[in-house]
Structure 1
């Protein structure tokens, strides 16, 4: 079983704007991966609909917990991994089940909750080696809050 590589890009939205987090899988932004999938599947609307998550706009709780599927402020058992291109995750989110074990973190069962008829079964699953995933989360947490003690596993 091959594992994917993950990184979390963190950049400002516009000049002086809030921080935006976009997962990058195997070097490609998740926003691009989902655009290609939805367009190829003939979904409408599709393309340029998603943006990164903006923690300043919604209190997800600790980012480490959020990206391990333990976010307390979201709806249901799935976790938003992308938000709308407008900046609000609730407007047009991409949700995923995140399962963390000792060895792996798996993102699967993707959905667009505003279009429940859409079939994302062929998107993913993405499997990440746990130690590499934890390292990427540590880098994200350090970038978002560099003054906070990094507690990498």
Structure 2
């Protein structure tokens, strides 16, 4: 009888402790990717940045995850608007940006301190072509982008198939 009462007991249930959460296989690794420090240095492309002296606008080339990490130092909570058009189900061989989010076994073991069994699990349960694989790619980028936004800042994301 006690077990049944525990199941139906709603005394600890309030609207304050419930909500929504995005969960997916690999979220912990994705969070670790966002939190892993960047060891690269920002090099701007001033020659390709039109009217830099007047506008302050600058072209930055590099892996977007690493660039987002570097930008945190000077732009944390300072950007009003971000627009991104991330790759989604791109099958083109001519796609200019990296559309293969697969990590090598060695990279997973070294950078995320996984053992071989965990790496096998990752490959077998939710490969890079799955929704979890894509979410594992986009999550750290969105987390870092959010950290760049002002309190009233917005992010626009264009996703099409």
Question: What's the TM-score, normalizing by structure 1?
Answer: 0.28
Larger Rg: 2
Q: Which has the higher strand share?
A: 1
Q: Which has the higher helix share?
A: 2
Which has the bigger relative contact order, CA under 8 A and spacing at least 6?
2
